[in-house]
Structure 1
Amino acid sequence: MFLKYLVICVFISVPSVNCCSTGFVQYHDKCYFFSHTTASWAQAGATCQQFHTKLAEPRTVGESDFLTSHSQSTGKTYWIGISDILEEHRWIYSSDMGVITVNNFFPGEPTAHTTENCVALYMYHSLHGMWADAACVDDFYFVCEEIRGASNPEVVG
Structure 2
Amino acid sequence: MSEDVIYSDVVFVKRNEIGSNDPDQSQLDVYTEKKLKDLQKLHSALNDNFTAVLQDMHDWQQNLSKALDDSACPKDWEYHAGKCYFFSTNTLDWTKSRDACVSDGGHLVIIKRKDEQEFLMSIITKYKESFWIGLTDEKNEGQWLWVDNTELSPDERYWYGNEPDNWTGSRGESKAGEDCVIITQDGLKSWSDAFCSKSLRRICETRSSRQP
Report if TM-score (shorter chain) is over 0.5: yes
Q: Which residue of 2 aligns with 1:100?
A: 152
- Please name the residue that 2:203 is paired with: 143
Question: Kindly tell me: are residues 116 and 23 of structure 1, through their superposed partners in 2, closer, same or farther at Cα, counting changes over 3 Å?
Answer: same
In the other structure, the counterpart of 1:36 is 89
Aligned residue-pair number:
136
Structure-2 residue corresponding to 1:154: none
Equivalent residue in structure 2 for 1:11, among 41, 62, 65: 65
Structure 1 counterpart of 2:135: 82
Letter in structure 1 aligned against 2:203: V
Cα drift, residue 51 of structure 1: 1.1
Off by >4 Å, runs of 4+ in structure 1: 7-10
Query: What CA distance in whole angstroms lies between the structure 1 residues aligned with 2:126 and 2:192?
Result: 18
CA deviation profile, 1:31-68 (whole Å, cap 9, x unmatched)? 10000000000000111111111001111111112112
Larger strand proportion, structure 1 or 2? 1
Q: Deviations over 1:77-130 (max 9, x none)?
A: 1000001111111111112x111131011020001164100000135xxx4571
What are the ranges of 5 or more consecutive residues in structure 2 without an aligned counterpart? Answer: 1-60, 168-175
Letter in 2 for 1:87: N
Answer yes or no: is the 8 Å Cα contact 2:73–2:208 preserved in 1: no
* Residue identity matched to 1:117: D
Q: Greater shift after overlay, 30-39 or 61-70?
A: 61-70
CA distance in 2, matches of 1:148, 1:11: 15
Identity of aligned residues (%): 24
Inter-CA distance 11–87: structure 2 relative to 1 (3 Å threshold): same
TM-score normalised to structure 2 length: 0.59
Separation of aligned partners in 2, 1:92 and 1:10:
38
Q: TM-score, normalised by structure 1?
A: 0.78
Question: 2:37 corresponds to which residue?
Answer: none
Q: Report the RMSD for the aligned CA atoms in angstroms.
A: 2.2
Which letter maps to 2:152? I
The structure that has the greater radius of gyration is: 2
Aligned twin of 2:111? 58
Partner of 2:179: 117
Larger helix proportion of the pair: 2
Distance in 2 (CA, whole Å) between partners of 1:145 and 1:36 is 15
Gapped regions of structure 1 (runs ≥ 5): 1-6, 150-157
